[in-house]
């Protein structure tokens, strides 16, 4: 009974000839989606580049308000989560359910740790009056461009955090499916494509870290 | 050509040196594209009619796949042809971007929904602009609110006007008369009413017109403001000064602490007043407070006009000969 | 439309139309053909809204003083017209309607790669449309379709946020369609269907999809920045905080100039199908026409700055963007020359789709040629933001894209509906549209060079005659567009039954019955040769 | 995305490499490199990206098409950045305001 259900699940969708075609389509689809993500962040990276060029002193000033230790630790946390995600994919490819579950859980957990640390950083910026708009109380030099810097900081890390939150949700979904024994060595496409998404989030942070924390 | 016989125009009046040059390029493009369009249209019609399907001939007798030679020809030939209008248009554009050194400067502020012009002698006008014939006129433009665009079709001239920044444009009118002046960047409800007239006058008539509205010059008002705001306590120009000297600064390159070299044009002067920390001159401390919100756009223009007017005692080789000092020029005019 | 298809008599074999007739079977369908029809119905409705706005604009412009509507209303009219026609009609028109319907069939596939994503894209489109219609009903928006800051962020008093959000949402529908088409073209081709055996419509949709995927996210994030700035009052483009309004323009045009090619490339693809079919001759220079589609998609990303020659951009950037703008004209010219060469010694017949195709060549050439004026820096300074630009892009987008859409719609109508449209009425409508279009928009070139700025609710009296001519043309154009709407609906019930291949087409969609069965083909076709081979016949068996 | 499985050893080495690069970029940021500050930071970030893409994202073992897609993203980002900066970086070259 259970076997039949698993077999059905692994039949290709009607528009595909076989599972290989289906998996290749899914992989290409995810990569194309990642391109759209790069361009979405790309708009913000452009704003960043232009304003850093126009207001370099303000950006140096802004960087001094960043919590370097927290940023560096978070970078390590996210890299670790990418490692566990890569391991999870490997376990899925080998059809090792227990390992898959373990690594997926650690990935999600590390994602949550990152978000927690980020939330703490946000809170301390708020306490310092460095949130643009009405909470803004900073009155030193470059106040105008510095607001732009912090606007970009919150926009870019915020958009990143939103993506990471979605990522944690997706990985949790994978855990649920893995517990229901939906993945086998022959069929684990969702693990692979969500893995790709997770790694891209890591890549984006790899750039955000030096661009905000390490200016001068 | 201009549709006089029709009772309505088909071609706009020409009233500046640039207008003639732009129109020549326009007619060149019109001839070039008109010819190509005509050839394509003729071929399409001739082929379609001549090779229309006839009974007993269901498919075309020749099923050619193409011709690499032809493809290369109609790739390369247009590519080469396009060099002409590109270079031509670019030359005119660069010429229109760089005003001659002896140009007369008039300031313009766009705001919803009017144009405020001010001549160096302090004469103000709204939605109308009087300019002399045969003399280069440079407009220094800014906006109090949204983006506007100053458009004078008869001069073939258009420049967007931005808040928080100075842009410039110049022209030399070569025909007297009244011409349309529009705002061509959408700016809100009464966008289509934001305009008026440019009046090109004989130089003598222009001088008489200026004399009618003469009041205190921009630079002189700026000078007073400079004292009132206390700028002179730091920018003193002597050994005790805590800020860079301003005499002869205008138009000169300035070395900044971050390694960049910028030219001290009007926009630089403006930025240094409202956002002093963003460009620190090498060798000075960032101690100047911002004057953002403390001076209006009008006053800012006066301060800039004053700093512009501070000529060095000895003539710099840099400063183009005969550059008019506005107060002096006003005296000449009378 | 749904009601009418229900009324169709059941043909001998099961078709995609008869596979389910309930509303549920349509609203939950994952069949690309049905999704194409859902799109067709929705964009037609949006076209009507945009058209009504245009009608009121043309009526207002009958007299120099305006007077029919207040200036404020006029500003809302042209904004709604622009926003709807660009994002809710032109961009989805050929890709999402004809592309969705035809692309999988041209590839010999049963469906697109991600059918549920395809349905989702329609629902997202619907959500975006509702946002926009809600904006219209609750007071409208007056920023122009370009949303220039700081007007849109700080000064406009109309409903900017719901508009930008509507456009933001509809962007996702574009992205999903583009993603689906790219993956489908790569992974779902029938055996033997190599890249250089693909019909040119597929090539152009592929090129279009590249733009949709690469450009739309940038628009999305830009609109979000505008929304945040307006909503929270914190400005990233606010000059008071050191922001630069020009940066908005860079980001906006990085999307919107390539988007212009989203609004013409699919049209070129349709024309590349129509001309060989109705000339009974191989398309001249297939590889060059295919390559030109990709070249346009790539070069289209390098020219956005030509919208900003008078904006206060650096002179250097203006020179670079001007030069690159000339480059992008070359692949378009290649296409026109190849279409013309295809007619040479062909066997040309003049059914309605072919009339549209011939009209397209004329109108697109005129629109393209005037683009050269706009690429030329000094001339652009004079004519940018005037009616010259309006005329130019309407020649491309209406004269080009809408004409191609009408041509494609008539061409594939037998496949879509299983019925023929009335040929003589079709020809009459095509010619009416051609005449009406030219009368509407040619005077606008002259108005533009005279110096009439765009987005003006009134104008100096000497511009009146040309404006009246334009409005007269617009009323002819309206009749031209109303005709097909009427007779196509009529044909659903009364049209003559269509065979599988009424035009003698050679691409795969003509090898299956009209209308096609639910999964397109009885068995997966095997492709043995390229398209437009009138000696060997259709690509598959 | 091929069937090739990335062994734990490879993943672990990539992980350690990434950590080392993170440490490197954090430490180098404290050294005054002048104009080289940004290029060095970006070069390290690019190296990390390459490691993640090639190994964690399996690009090394995937069909070339996927690599092309990834390259496309980089290229288009470069177009966006390059075109915009072409304006800002050259605004002082030829001043429209002249002198």
Cα C265 to Cα C292: distance, rounded to the nearest angstrom: 10
CB contact under 8 A, D83 and C315: no
Whether residues B113 and B262 share a domain: the answer is no
User: C528-538 pLDDT, tens per residue?
Assistant: 999 999 999 89
Q: Domain count of chain C?
A: 1
Does the pLDDT at position C141 exceed 90? yes
- Name the percent of chain C lying above pLDDT 90: 92
**C334 contacts chain B (CB < 8 A):** yes
Whether residues B99 and B202 share a domain: the answer is yes
CB contact under 8 A, A42 and C217: yes
Residue C117, domain member (yes or no): yes
Residue of B nearest to C364 (CA): B37
Residue numbers of the domain that contains B223: 218-333
Chain A contacts of D72, Cβ < 8 Å? 35
Size of interface A-C (CB pairs under 8 A): 109
Query: Of D27, D48, D63, D92, which to mutate for an interface test with A (greatest number of A Cβ within 10 Å)?
Result: D48
Chain A contacts of B290, Cβ < 8 Å? 143-144
pTM of the predicted model, to two decimals?
0.93
Q: Domain count of chain B?
A: 2
The minimum CA-CA distance between A150 and chain B, rounded to whole Å, is 16
**What tokens were used for A151?**
């606007």
Does the pLDDT at position B330 exceed 90? no
Strand (E) or helix (H) holding D94: none
Cα A176 to Cα C294: distance, rounded to the nearest angstrom: 43
Residue-range domain boundaries for chain A:
33-213
Residue of D nearest to C313 (CA): D87
Q: What is the pLDDT of residue C19?
A: 87
The minimum CA-CA distance between C435 and chain B, rounded to whole Å, is 16
Overall average pLDDT of the B180-185 stretch: 96
C192 phi-psi bin (left φ>0, alpha ψ -120 to 50, beta other): left
**B321 contacts chain A (CB < 8 A):** no
Least confident of A197-211, B271-285, C116-130: B271-285
Residue numbers of the domain that contains C354: 2-511
CATH code (residue B251)? 1.10.760.10
Q: What is the pLDDT of residue B254?
A: 85
For chain B, give the mean pLDDT.
Answer: 86
Q: Any residues with CB less than 8 A from the CB of C336 and at least 6 apart, and which?
A: B40, C361, C364, C365, C368
Overall average pLDDT of the B13-36 stretch: 96
Helices (H), chain B: 17-50, 68-97, 203-213, 218-228, 266-274, 297-309, 326-333
CB C212 within 8 A of CB C174: yes
Chain A contacts of C220, Cβ < 8 Å? 40, 43
Q: What is the pLDDT of residue D97?
A: 39
Cα A202 to Cα B2: distance, rounded to the nearest angstrom: 64
CATH code (residue C207)? 1.20.210.10
Chain A contacts of C183, Cβ < 8 Å? 25, 28-29, 32
Closest CA to C402 of C370, C437, C376, C431: C437
Overall average pLDDT of the C147-160 stretch: 93
Q: What is the pLDDT of residue C372?
A: 96
CB proximity under 8 Å: C 463-522 to A: 519
Chain D contacts of C317, Cβ < 8 Å? 83, 86-87, 90
Residue C526, domain member (yes or no): no
CB contact under 8 A, B263 and D94: no
Q: Give the confidence band of B5 by pLDDT, cuts at 50, 70, 90.
A: low
Q: Give the confidence band of A135 by pLDDT, cuts at 50, 70, 90.
A: confident
Tell me whether strands B128-132 and B195-201 are parallel, antiparallel or unpaired. Answer: parallel
Does the pLDDT at position C3 exceed 70? no
Provide the CATH number for the domain formed by A33-213 in this structure: 1.20.120.80
3-class secondary-structure state, position A209 = helix
Closest CA to B292 of C95, A139, A39: A139
Does the pLDDT at position C162 exceed 50? yes
Q: Mark which of B186, B215, B244 sits at the end of a domain.
A: B215
**Predicted-complex ipTM score:** 0.91
With tokens 């510095």, the residue in question is A146
The minimum CA-CA distance between B7 and chain D, rounded to whole Å, is 39
Using alpha carbons, list the distances in angstroms from residue D10 to A198, B183, D58. Answer: 19, 64, 11
Does the pLDDT at position B269 exceed 50? yes
Whether residues B27 and B135 share a domain: the answer is yes
Whether residues B298 and B174 share a domain: the answer is no
**C236 contacts chain B (CB < 8 A):** no
> Which residue in the set C74, C326, C449 is minimally distant from B82, CB to CB?
C326
Tell me whether strands B253-255 and B124-126 are parallel, antiparallel or unpaired. Answer: unpaired
CB contact under 8 A, C310 and B158: yes
Does the pLDDT at position C45 exceed 70? yes
Does the pLDDT at position A207 exceed 50? yes
Whether residues B228 and B182 share a domain: the answer is no
3-class secondary-structure state, position B185 = coil
Q: Chains meeting D at 3+ CB pairs closer than 8 A?
A: A, B, C
Burial of B54 (0-12, 13-18, 19+ CB in 10 A): exposed
Helices (H), C395-534: 403-417, 423-450, 464-494
Closest CA to C362 of C306, C434, C465: C434
Burial of C207 (0-12, 13-18, 19+ CB in 10 A): buried
Does the pLDDT at position D98 exceed 90? no
Chain A contacts of B258, Cβ < 8 Å? 56-57
Whether residues B34 and B128 share a domain: the answer is yes
Residue C532, domain member (yes or no): no
**What tokens were used for B110?**
């766009």
The minimum CA-CA distance between C151 and chain D, rounded to whole Å, is 21
Q: What is the pLDDT of residue B253?
A: 85
Closest CA to C527 of C109, C144, C93: C109
Q: What is the pLDDT of residue B327?
A: 35
Cα C427 to Cα A62: distance, rounded to the nearest angstrom: 66
With tokens 């006129």, the residue in question is B137
Q: Chains meeting A at 3+ CB pairs closer than 8 A?
A: B, C, D
**Other beta carbons less than 10 A from residue C227's beta carbon:** 20
**C311 contacts chain B (CB < 8 A):** yes
Cα B224 to Cα B218: distance, rounded to the nearest angstrom: 10
Overall average pLDDT of the B318-326 stretch: 40
Q: What is the pLDDT of residue A215?
A: 86
Residue B263, domain member (yes or no): yes
Query: Of A21, A27, A31, A47, which to mutate for an interface test with C (greatest number of C Cβ within 10 Å)?
Result: A47
Chain A contacts of D18, Cβ < 8 Å? 79, 82-83
Chain B contacts of A57, Cβ < 8 Å? 258, 277-278, 280, 286
Residue C482, domain member (yes or no): yes
**Which residue has better confidence, C5 or A200?**
A200
Question: For residue C523, what is the DSSP state?
Answer: S
CB contact under 8 A, A141 and B292: no
> Which residue in the set B258, B277, B292 is minimally distant from A142, CB to CB?
B277
Least confident of B258-272, C16-30, C520-534: B258-272
Using alpha carbons, list the distances in angstroms from residue B92 to A199, B103, B174, B182, C379. Answer: 51, 18, 17, 22, 9
Q: What is the pLDDT of residue B282?
A: 84
Does the pLDDT at position C8 exceed 50? no
With tokens 């090779």, the residue in question is B51
Overall average pLDDT of the C337-350 stretch: 95
CB contact under 8 A, A57 and B275: no
CB contact under 8 A, C340 and B47: yes
Q: Chains meeting B at 3+ CB pairs closer than 8 A?
A: A, C, D
**B165 contacts chain A (CB < 8 A):** no
Does the pLDDT at position A98 exceed 50? yes
Strand (E) or helix (H) holding C229: helix C200-232
3-class secondary-structure state, position C24 = helix
Cα C134 to Cα C115: distance, rounded to the nearest angstrom: 29
For chain A, give the mean pLDDT.
Answer: 92
Residue of A nearest to D33 (CA): A216
Q: What is the pLDDT of residue B4?
A: 58
Residue-range domain boundaries for chain D:
1-62, 63-99
Q: What is the pLDDT of residue D82?
A: 96
Q: What is the pLDDT of residue C334?
A: 96
**Which residue has better confidence, C68 or A70?**
A70
Q: What is the pLDDT of residue B247?
A: 85
User: Angle CA(C295)–CA(C301)–CA(C305) in degrees, nearest 5?
Assistant: 130
**Which residue has better confidence, C182 or D5?**
C182
**A216 contacts chain B (CB < 8 A):** no
C200 phi-psi bin (left φ>0, alpha ψ -120 to 50, beta other): alpha
The minimum CA-CA distance between B186 and chain C, rounded to whole Å, is 7
Question: For residue C327, what is the DSSP state?
Answer: H
**Which residue has better confidence, B182 or A19?**
B182
Residue B57, domain member (yes or no): no
CB B78 within 8 A of CB C329: yes
Chain D contacts of C302, Cβ < 8 Å? 79, 83
Q: Give the confidence band of B3 by pLDDT, cuts at 50, 70, 90.
A: low
From first CA to last CA, the distance across chain B in angstroms is 42
Chain A contacts of C214, Cβ < 8 Å? 35-36, 39
CB contact under 8 A, A43 and C115: no
Strand (E) or helix (H) holding B197: strand B195-201
Overall average pLDDT of the B241-261 stretch: 82
Rg of chain A taking only CA atoms, in angstroms: 21
User: B65-120 pLDDT, tens per residue?
Assistant: 889 999 999 999 999 999 999 999 999 999 998 889 889 999 999 999 999 999 98
């Amino acid at each position: 009974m259970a076997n039949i259900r698993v077999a059905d699940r692994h039949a290709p969708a009607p528009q595909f000839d076989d599972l290989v075609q289906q998996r290749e389509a899914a992989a290409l689809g995810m990569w194309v989606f990642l391109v759209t993500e790069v361009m979405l962040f790309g708009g913000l990276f452009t704003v960043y580049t232009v304003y850093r060029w126009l207001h370099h002193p303000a950006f140096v000033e802004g960087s001094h308000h960043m919590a370097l230790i927290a940023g560096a630790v978070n970078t390590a946390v996210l890299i670790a989560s990418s490692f566990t995600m890569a391991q999870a994919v490997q376990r899925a490819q080998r059809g090792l359910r227990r390992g898959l579950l373990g690594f997926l859980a650690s990935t999600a957990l590390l994602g949550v740790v990152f978000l927690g640390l980020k939330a703490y950083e946000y809170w301390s910026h708020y306490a310092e009056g460095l949130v643009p708009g009405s909470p803004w109380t900073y009155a030193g030099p470059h106040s105008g461009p510095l607001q732009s810097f912090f606007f970009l900081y919150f926009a870019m890390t915020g958009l990143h955090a939103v993506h990471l939150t979605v990522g944690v949700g997706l990985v949790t979904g994978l855990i649920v499916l893995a517990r229901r024994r939906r993945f086998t060595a022959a069929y684990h496409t969702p693990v692979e494509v969500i893995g790709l998404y997770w790694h891209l989030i890591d890549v984006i942070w790899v750039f955000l870290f030096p661009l905000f924390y390490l200016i001068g | 050509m201009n549709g006089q016989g029709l009772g309505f125009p088909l071609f706009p009046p020409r009233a500046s040196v640039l207008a003639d040059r732009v129109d020549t390029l326009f007619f060149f493009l019109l001839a070039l594209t008109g010819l190509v369009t005509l050839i394509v249209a003729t071929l399409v019609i001739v082929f379609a009619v001549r090779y229309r399907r006839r009974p007993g001939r269901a498919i075309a007798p020749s099923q050619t796949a193409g011709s690499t030679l032809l493809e290369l020809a109609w790739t390369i030939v247009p590519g080469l042809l396009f060099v002409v209008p590109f270079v031509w248009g670019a030359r005119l554009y660069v010429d229109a971007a760089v005003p001659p050194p002896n140009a007369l400067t008039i300031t313009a502020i766009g705001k919803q929904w009017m144009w405020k012009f001010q001549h160096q002698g302090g004469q103000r006008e709204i939605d109308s602009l009087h300019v002399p014939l045969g003399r280069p006129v440079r407009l220094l433009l800014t906006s109090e609110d949204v983006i506007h665009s100053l458009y004078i079709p008869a001069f073939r001239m258009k420049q967007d006007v931005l808040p928080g920044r100075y842009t410039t444009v110049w022209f030399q009118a070569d025909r007297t008369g009244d011409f349309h002046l529009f705002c061509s960047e959408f700016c809100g409800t009464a966008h289509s009413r934001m305009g008026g007239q440019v009046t090109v006058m004989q130089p003598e008539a222009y001088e008489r017109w200026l004399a009618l509205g003469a009041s205190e010059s921009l630079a002189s008002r700026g000078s007073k403001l400079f004292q009132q705001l206390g700028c002179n306590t730091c920018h003193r120009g002597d050994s005790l000064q805590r800020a860079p000297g301003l005499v002869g600064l205008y138009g000169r390159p300035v070395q900044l602490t971050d390694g960049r070299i910028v030219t001290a044009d009007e926009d630089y002067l403006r930025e240094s007043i409202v956002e002093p920390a963003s460009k620190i001159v090498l060798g000075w401390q960032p101690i100047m407070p911002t004057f953002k919100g403390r001076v209006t756009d009008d006053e800012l223009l006066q301060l800039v006009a004053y700093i512009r007017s501070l000529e060095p005692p000895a003539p710099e080789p840099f400063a183009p000969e005969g550059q008019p000092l506005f107060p002096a020029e006003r005296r000449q005019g009378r | 439309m749904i009601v009418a298809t229900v009324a169709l008599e059941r043909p001998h074999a099961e078709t995609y139309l008869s596979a389910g007739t309930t509303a549920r079977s349509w609203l939950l369908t994952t069949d690309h053909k049905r999704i194409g029809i859902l799109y067709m119905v929705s964009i037609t409705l949006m076209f009507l809204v945009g058209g009504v706005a245009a009608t009121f604009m043309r009526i207002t412009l009958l007299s120099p003083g305006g007077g029919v509507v207040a200036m404020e209303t006029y500003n809302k009219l042209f904004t709604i017209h622009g926003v709807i026609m660009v994002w809710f009609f032109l961009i989805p028109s050929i890709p999402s309607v004809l592309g969705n319907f035809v692309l999988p069939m041209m590839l010999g596939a049963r469906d697109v790669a991600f059918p549920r994503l395809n349905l989702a894209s329609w629902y997202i489109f619907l959500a975006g449309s509702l946002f926009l219609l809600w904006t219209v009903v609750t007071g409208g928006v007056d920023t122009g379709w370009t949303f220039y800051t700081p007007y849109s962020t700080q000064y406009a008093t109309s409903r900017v946020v719901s508009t930008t959000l509507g456009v933001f949402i509809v962007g996702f529908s574009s992205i999903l369609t583009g993603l689906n088409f790219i993956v489908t073209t790569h992974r779902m081709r029938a055996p033997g269907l190599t890249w250089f055996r693909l019909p040119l419509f597929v090539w152009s949709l592929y090129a279009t999809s590249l733009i949709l995927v690469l450009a739309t996210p940038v628009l999305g994030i830009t609109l979000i920045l505008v929304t945040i700035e307006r909503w929270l009052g914190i400005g990233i483009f606010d000059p008071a905080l050191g922001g630069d309004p020009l940066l908005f323009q860079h980001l906006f045009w990085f999307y919107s100039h390539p988007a212009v090619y989203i609004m013409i490339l699919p049209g070129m693809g349709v024309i590349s199908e129509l001309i060989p079919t109705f000339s009974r001759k191989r398309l001249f220079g297939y590889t060059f026409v295919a390559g030109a589609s990709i070249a346009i998609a790539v070069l289209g990303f390098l020219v956005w700055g030509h919208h900003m020659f008078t904006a206060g951009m650096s002179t250097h950037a203006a020179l670079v963007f001007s030069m690159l703008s000339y480059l992008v004209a070359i692949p378009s010219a290649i296409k026109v020359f190849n279409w013309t060469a295809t007619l040479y010694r062909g066997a040309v017949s003049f059914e309605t789709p072919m009339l549209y195709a011939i009209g397209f060549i004329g109108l697109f050439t005129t629109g393209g040629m005037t683009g050269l004026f706009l690429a030329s820096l000094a001339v652009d300074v004079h004519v940018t933001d005037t009616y010259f630009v309006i005329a130019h892009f309407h020649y491309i987008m209406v004269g080009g894209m809408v004409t191609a859409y009408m041509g494609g719609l008539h061409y594939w109508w037998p496949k879509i509906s299983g019925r023929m449209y009335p040929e003589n009425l079709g020809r009459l409508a095509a010619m009416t549209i051609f005449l009406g279009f030219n009368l509407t928009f040619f005077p606008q070139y002259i108005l533009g060079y005279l110096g009439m700025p765009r987005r003006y609710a009134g104008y100096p009296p000497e511009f009146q005659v040309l404006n009246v001519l334009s409005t007269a043309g617009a009323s002819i154009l309206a009749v031209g567009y109303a005709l097909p709407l009427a007779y196509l609906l009529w044909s659903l019930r009364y049209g003559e039954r269509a065979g599988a291949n009424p035009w003698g087409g050679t691409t795969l969609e003509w090898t299956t019955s009209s209308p096609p069965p639910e999964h397109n083909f009885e068995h997966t076709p095997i492709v043995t040769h390229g398209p437009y081979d009138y000696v060997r016949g259709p690509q598959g068996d | 995305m091929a069937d090739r499985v990335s062994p734990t050893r490879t993943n672990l080495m990539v992980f350690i490499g990434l950590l080392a690069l993170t440490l490197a970029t954090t430490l180098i940021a404290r050294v005054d490199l002048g104009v080289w500050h940004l290029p060095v930071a970006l070069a390290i970030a690019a190296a990390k990206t390459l490691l993640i893409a090639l190994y964690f994202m399996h690009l090394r073992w995937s069909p070339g098409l996927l690599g092309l897609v990834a390259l496309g993203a980089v290229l288009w980002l470069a177009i966006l950045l390059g075109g915009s900066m072409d304006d800002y970086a050259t605004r002082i070259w030829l001043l429209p305001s002249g002198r």
